[in-house]
Structure 1
């Protein structure tokens, strides 16, 4: 059943990263907005303080002179100058006396009015600037008050109201820019993180697809691009796992094939033993009768008797092979030095050729000699069978090669001939019982089956490679249980008998 996947690693990575980017954007944007708002307010208040401070001295002097009756009406000029100053968004400006009565105002209807609000009282009673934000019909106003005090005497207060609309418009424009920038930053980072997440998850998806496409028994996966990171380490572990599975599958198939082959050979062996026994008895009687009849026949019948004897000999040979096949099931294991075994095998090879024009090449390349744990008689039977077949397959004056080598974990014997080769369609079946490539009457199809059974009992392998003009049979026998190719002298010191 396919697992339900709610969120992939890529999706989780993008979501978590996007949340982090969004949190950063909100925090950074909010901080920038707060700082800009405070900056605009402080800037407006600072400019207002500068303006009011610059007017404090002239206004006090004018009020003193006015009290003396020297320059009446000059205060109106200061108020008008403040209101018409293009650098300041002034809403109102007025001057009160020490009692809070409006002496001059940009709006004449407020002249003579008394102000008793907290800002005015604080300005008249204190020495420093006073400010507050008040609502006006046109928006918020920064209301600032400066005490007009000199030498401890209060002459009143200067009140100016600055419109905050321009500052608020600047602040709103800045806030929109920050919001737009934060949104664009969030989108850009999300896209980048998506690309990064996709690049990071793609190798995992490829590995998952490779795992999903593995078929039972095949354990083959498409090679993935090499990487030098944790994902690459995971890919290597996956490949190693596949290799172990392939090795285990091969071992399982080999064990199963050995089991099937052994059961088949055991069943055939029982049948063959019974058939050989049933044939031997009447064959012995027929042989006795033939020899008695031969004594009474005239000489001119000798040709017929020779044909009859040859047929009986052929039957005896087949029965003998069947008997050998039925007795393969057990081994008489002993330790044999490889050089001694090879010399005896080479001697068998010379006898197997049976023709003077043949050429035998015997090469013992297993040096130094090792100790073999084998049934020497049955292994000689295997080599004799292979050498006889190689001699029969070789052309006249053709050579047969017997070679011994040491391969990884085993002792290998190869028999090479220069014959016509074995067709591909026959190569897979030549070790089957009763299967032969020879003409009718020339082979029984038992010899190679016996060879394979003997080699299998030694837990070895027999293989064939053939092409036009050359056939090579390779028999590999594993070394003793220790698995080491120890020289004979060393094995003697370990107590292994020679």
Structure 2
């Protein structure tokens, strides 16, 4: 399958973080530059206002002297304008004085003498009788000019205005230098933020990449993967969910394998059942003839014949084996019906007492399934299982030993157990005890069919046949679901 192209979380986080860092750096730089520009212009205007305010009174006095004829016209005003132009504190571009009609009385540019200015700033300053200023844009590459107008007003009489224009070139040069520093600082912050975002993004993506690698390694053949250490965050929650999913997968796979094994076993048992049914049929015919001949020989013989006795015992054993094989071939057919567990247990215990009378063992029955559970089973076949397990337990018990039958209910499952105090099942024999024709008894004492039949019957009821064994204590437990 072709891998789908995508933008990883690390890259997405890095892009978003870089964008935020760039945006915040730009906003911070713009705010810092605007704030500094405002402060510089305020400082320039305050200095210019202080200058024109301090010169207003000398100019008014000079105009009074000229009107009174004390001094010649224009001489003192020219000196004041020259002093303004040569001021080293401010880069003055122009300075002039007008009368109340806007006529130039003195100007730093002598060619402007006598002209009348009607610009809005002059008229506003005369009308409003207060200091005013405006920023005049520069021509082409020239910087703006701060143009200030100071009304020459005293005792209710307006003499005119003092106009001074100050270049903002030094201020703009400072702002350009500041802009370069801000750009450098913003670039440094951007690079640092980008690097920090990359490291954080990589640290965030690394556990996800490890978890993704673990997820990729999961398959039906490999569910035992080792997860990274638990994290106390959202990734840890994702790991927990993945761990739970793995556990469910393991259980599902275990159930699937068990179901497949049961299916294979059922098919195998069905095949064996067909074979043994045919074998039993073919064996019964000559066996019947042999038994008839033995009966006739016994009738004709006047004295006991030991050889006939041995032959009769052999044919009886063959009959028993054939009968068990026939039972095994018919385990697939069931006739289930519903009944209470206490009734089933009491009848099974009664049959067990009768079946175990020929054994030198003590039998004990204990029904702990209270209240009784409702069962759905083939009573005859399930009692066959219990009797087979009890006879096996009696065979394994020493003389005087105890064989117990008990019942209980646990989480919707009916449990019936057979326990003996025999020598136990050897470790090497345990994997094979449910195999057909495998027996732990001495030669001639067992056929190896009983436990295979028991297991098949229990599984046909949707249950399981389990056992635990150690020297002196062996317990076989039948587990079948009940309807209660």
- Settle same-fold status: TM greater than 0.5: yes
For residue 451 of structure 1, what is the aligned residue in structure 2? 454
For residue 332 of structure 1, what is the aligned residue in structure 2? 335
Local SS of the residue matching 2:432: coil
- CA gap of 1:396–1:85, structure 2 versus 1, over 3 A, is farther
- CA gap of 1:169–1:268, structure 2 versus 1, over 3 A, is same
- CA gap of 1:217–1:474, structure 2 versus 1, over 3 A, is farther
Alignment of 1:334-353 (within 5 A): 334-353=337-356
For residue 217 of structure 2, what is the aligned residue in structure 1? 213
How far did 1:250 drift? 4.0
Please say if residues 77 and 106 of structure 2, whose CA atoms lie closer than 8 Å, have aligned partners that are also in contact.
no
For residue 174 of structure 1, what is the aligned residue in structure 2? 178
Match of 1:320 among 323, 328, 349: 323
Local SS of the residue matching 1:428: helix
Match of 2:275 among 236, 247, 271: 271
- CA gap of 1:201–1:361, structure 2 versus 1, over 3 A, is farther
Alignment of 1:25-424 (within 5 A): 25-65=25-65, 70=70, 78=80, 82=84, 88-91=89-92, 95=96, 100=104, 102=106, 112-114=110-112, 127=126, 129=132, 133=136, 140=143, 142=145, 144=147, 146=149, 149-150=152-153, 154=159, 158=162, 160-191=164-195, 193-194=197-198, 197=201, 201=205, 204-216=208-220, 219=223, 222=226, 238-293=242-297, 302=306, 304-353=307-356, 357-424=360-427
CA offsets 1:406-438 (integer angstroms, 9 cap, x no match): 122221111122333334443233222212233
Compare 33-42 and 323-332 and name the one that shifted more.
33-42
CA offsets 1:300-355 (integer angstroms, 9 cap, x no match): 952x4443333222212211111111222212323333223222322343344456
For residue 487 of structure 1, what is the aligned residue in structure 2? none
CA offsets 1:355-405 (integer angstroms, 9 cap, x no match): 664232322111222332222221121111111111222334333222111
For residue 490 of structure 1, what is the aligned residue in structure 2? none
Distance in 2 of aligned mates of 1:118 and 1:202: 79
Distance in 2 of aligned mates of 1:190 and 1:61: 66
Q: Does 1:439 align with 2:442?
A: yes
Local SS of the residue matching 2:477: strand
Please say if residues 417 and 477 of structure 2, whose CA atoms lie closer than 8 Å, have aligned partners that are also in contact.
yes
Residue-pair matches, total: 472
CA offsets 1:86-139 (integer angstroms, 9 cap, x no match): 6x2335665557654756x5xxxx6x4436999896777663646555769x97
How far did 1:141 drift? 6.8
Distance in 2 of aligned mates of 1:400 and 1:118: 136
Superposition TM-score, scaled by structure 1 size: 0.79
- CA gap of 1:241–1:32, structure 2 versus 1, over 3 A, is same
- CA gap of 1:345–1:124, structure 2 versus 1, over 3 A, is closer
- CA gap of 1:245–1:117, structure 2 versus 1, over 3 A, is farther
Compare 386-395 and 238-247 and name the one that shifted more.
238-247
For residue 488 of structure 1, what is the aligned residue in structure 2? none
Local SS of the residue matching 1:331: coil
How far did 1:272 drift? 0.7
Superposition TM-score, scaled by structure 2 size: 0.81
For residue 489 of structure 1, what is the aligned residue in structure 2? none
